[in-house]
Amino acid sequence: MDQEKFSAKKSARRSSAKTNEGSKRSKPSAGSQKNLLKAGLYLVATPIGNLQDLSLRGIEILQNVDVIACEDTRVTGKILSRHAIDTAMKAYHEHNAKRARPGLLRIIKAGGAVALVSDAGTPAISDPGFRLVNECILQGLEITAAPGANAAITGLILSGLPTDRFLFAGFLPAKSKQRTQELAGLAEVPATLIFYESAKRLAAALADMAEQLGDRPAAVTRELTKLHEEIRRGSLSELSNHYQETGAPKGEIVIVIGPPLKKAALTEAKLDELIRQALPDNSVRDVAAELARETGVAKRQIYARALELAKK
Ligand code: SAM
């Protein structure tokens, strides 16, 4: 799609924008005339597993935009063919985003309509879509969204953990040292935490989570909306032990972790008492790890206090 091709359509699109709003359009058959959409970027959520999970409006937009920017044309192609959509696709992913972005912006500036989809779920969540959205805003271009499936929210609502306040933290670093540091920074956040994680790192990530966040209730939600959907609930250490024993499960995973455990019953004096009892026979490091597991207080907080008490 180049600029010249879209220049001619520009005025038609502009004038059609109002009449199209809220109007019903019939489904164009393959190769038929598209209904003109207002120029801009359309963020369209696609399924996270079950191909039925695409909104009616999402289908309509995907049928009528000039081009669909997607991470992997094979993945998106399956969704399109399931819904008999024959719109052209353009690859827009982590590795070509910088190169591909100007072309997509040119199409919109020339009066075109571009849909952005990710491999699964809501675009711009843990993919390069954010930068395209940002660039549209900077250049004063229209953006709208057809919301729908999202793995983080689906995992959260199925976890049974508090939903009133949550923090989506995306993917943690793959290496334990950096992961530990990032988790330490989240230990005091008074909210349910949501992470995306790969199956092969699951057990190790859960072990680091138990150590840094305290042994909180959690849920490993796997293969959401798919045939083998599974929600496994338990404390972080129970879940970590389970996956250490069974090995890496198959499929895609969202980890949901409850907010910090209520510490009201555990006064500072009581925590000091527990530390003093444990110190004579254990290293400061072991005391911190053990009491973090028992009390749910962050390990680094206990470690700092145990260091102080050990010097006295
Ligand atoms: N944009 C997507 C969304 O709205 O959820 C997420 C994209 S992110 C690159 C991909 C990650 O989402 C996967 O590694 C996995 O952690 C999670 N995910 C995607 N589909 C999932 C599913 N059906 N079940 C569990 N987790 C899923």
Residue 237 domain flag: yes
Q: Which amino acid is at 221?
A: T
* Whether residues 107 and 190 fall in one domain: no
Q: What is the DSSP string of 70-128?
A: ES-HHHHHHHHHHTT----EEE--TTTHHHHHHHHHHHHHTT-EEEE--SSBSTTSSST
Give the N- to C-terminal CA distance of the chain in Å, as an integer: 73
Which of 96, 119, 149 marks a domain boundary?
149
Task: Tell me how many domains the chain contains.
Answer: 3
Residue 16 domain flag: no
Q: Does residue 223 line the site of ligand 1, with CB under 6 A?
A: yes
Residue-wise pLDDT for 186-238, tens only, equals 999 999 999 999 999 999 999 999 999 998 999 999 999 999 999 999 999 99
Atom of ligand 1 nearest to the CA of 122: 4
Query: Which range marks the domain in which residue 91 is found?
Result: 3-7+35-149
Residue 112 domain flag: yes
Residue 20 domain flag: no
Are residues 59 and 42 in contact, defined by beta-carbon separation less than 8 angstroms? no
Which of 125, 149, 173 marks a domain boundary?
149
CATH number at residue 89: 3.40.1010.10
Q: Does residue 252 line the site of ligand 1, with CB under 6 A?
A: yes
More confident site: 84 or 21: 84
Distance, in Å, from the CA atom of 257 to the CA atom of 192, rounded to the nearest integer, reads 6
pTM check: above 0.75: yes
* Whether residues 130 and 114 fall in one domain: yes
> Which residues are 57's β-sheet partners?
none
In this predicted structure, the answer to whether residue 138 has a pLDDT above a threshold of 50 is yes
Residue 23 domain flag: no
In this predicted structure, the answer to whether residue 296 has a pLDDT above a threshold of 80 is no
* Whether residues 111 and 177 fall in one domain: no
* Whether residues 203 and 120 fall in one domain: no
Q: How far is CA 15 from the centre of its chain?
A: 37
Are residues 241 and 209 in contact, defined by beta-carbon separation less than 8 angstroms? no
**150, 172, 193, 254: which to mutate for ligand 1, most atoms within 8 A of CB?**
254
